[in-house]
Structure 1
Amino acid sequence: MSGAGSAQATANRRAAMLKTAFGPVIGAALEDESVSEIMANPGGALFIERLGVGRERQDAIMPACDVERIIRLIASHIGAACDREHPIVSAELPGTGERFEGVMPPVSLAPALSIRKPARRAMSLADWVAAEAMTRGQALILQSALARRENILISGGTSTGKTTLANSLLAEIGRQAERILILEDTRELFCSAEDVVALRTAPGVSLETLVRSTMRLRPDRIIIGEVRGGEALDLLKAWNTGHPGGIATVHANSAEAALSRLEQLTAERAHEIPRALIGEAVNLIVHIGRRGDHRRVEHILRVKGHDPLHGYCLAPADPQQFSIVSEGATL
Structure 2
Amino acid sequence: MDKAQQERHDRLIEQMRRILGSEICAVFDDPNAVEIMLNDDGKVLVERHGSGITHLTNLPVSKTLNFLSLMADYRGTTVTREKPVVEGAMPDEFLRARFAGAIPPLMTQPTFCIRLPARKVFTLDNYVDKGIINTAQHASIIQAVIEHKNILVSGSTGSGKTTLVNAILHAISERAGLNERLVLIQDTAELQCSAPNTSSMLTYEDSGFDYTKLLKLTLRYRPDRIIVGEVRDGAALALLKAWNTGHPGELATLHANNPQAALLRLDQLCQEAGVPPQKELIREAVHLVIQIQRDTDHPAGRRITAIEEIREGAEPSPWKRPQTRLAKIRARRL
What aligned pairs does 1:19-38 form with structure 2 within 5 A after superposition?
19-38=17-36
* Aligned counterpart, 1:68: 65
1:157 corresponds to 2:156: yes
Q: What residue in structure 2 maps to residue 325 of structure 1?
A: none
**Contact (CA 8 Å) 1:303, 1:312: kept in 2 or not?**
no
Partner of 1:329: none
Residues 55/119 of structure 1: CA separation in 2 closer, same or farther (3 Å cut):
same
1:311 CA drift (Å): 4.7
**Greater Cα shift, 33-42 or 263-272:** 263-272
Distance of aligned partners of 1:250 and 1:311 in 2 relative to their CA distance in 1, 3 Å threshold: closer
Contact 1:51 1:123 in 2 (8 A): no
Q: Secondary structure at the match of 1:105?
A: coil
Whether the 8 Å contact between 1:138 and 1:300 is mirrored in structure 2 is yes
How much does 1:225 deviate? 0.7
| Residues 57-103 of structure 1: per-residue CA shift (max 9 Å, x gap) | 22x22222222222222122223222222222112211231111122
Alignment of 1:196-235 (within 5 A): 196-202=198-204, 203-235=207-239
Return closer, same or farther for 1:105/1:173 CA change in 2, 3 Å cut-off.
same
Local SS of the residue matching 1:37? strand
TM-score of the two chains, using structure 1 as the length reference: 0.88
Deviation at 1:226, TM superposition (A): 0.9
| Residue 84 of structure 1 pairs with residue 103 of structure 2 | no
Single out whichever of 298-307 and 8-17 deviates more from structure 2. Answer: 298-307
Q: Is the 8 A contact 2:34 2:115 kept in 1?
A: yes
State the one-letter code of the partner of 2:251: I
Q: Following the alignment from structure 1 to structure 2, what is the Cα–Cα distance between the partners of residues 186 and 125?
A: 23
For residues 250-329 of structure 1, the aligned pairs below 5 Å read: 250-269=254-273, 271-292=275-296, 294-305=301-312, 307=314, 311=318
The code of the aligned residue for 1:167 comes to N
Residues 291 and 320 (structure 1 numbering): CA distance in 2 closer, same or farther, change over 3 Å?
A: closer
Amino acid at match of 2:12: R
Match of 2:245?
241
Percent of aligned pairs with the same residue? Answer: 37
1:174 partner SS? helix
Q: What SS class does the counterpart of residue 2 from structure 2 fall into?
A: helix
In the alignment, the residues of structure 1 paired with residue 313 and residue 234 of structure 2 have an alpha-carbon distance, to the nearest angstrom, of 21
Query: How far apart are residue 206 of structure 1 and its match?
Result: 2.2
Equivalent position of 2:46 in the other structure = 48
CA RMSD of aligned residues (A): 2.4
Structure 1 unmatched runs, 5+: 322-331
The answer to whether the 8 Å contact 2:307/2:329 transfers is no
Report the AA paired with residue 45 of structure 2. F
Superposed displacement of residue 255, structure 1: 0.7
Q: Aligned equivalents of 1:311 and 1:297: distance in 2?
A: 20
| Match status 1:103 vs 2:102 | yes
Change (3 A) 1:255 1:4: same
- What residue number does 1:120 align with? 119
State the shift of 1:315 in Å: 9.7
In the alignment, is the contact (CA less than 8 A) between 1:275 and 1:306 conserved in 2?
A: no
**Deviation at 1:166?**
0.9
| Alignment partners' CA distance in 2, 1:249 and 1:146 | 16
C-alpha displacement of 1:318: 6.5
Q: Which runs of 5 or more structure 2 residues have no equivalent in the other structure?
A: none
Contact kept? 1:279, 1:312, Cα under 8 Å: no
Query: How many residues in Structure 1 have an aligned counterpart in Structure 2?
Result: 318
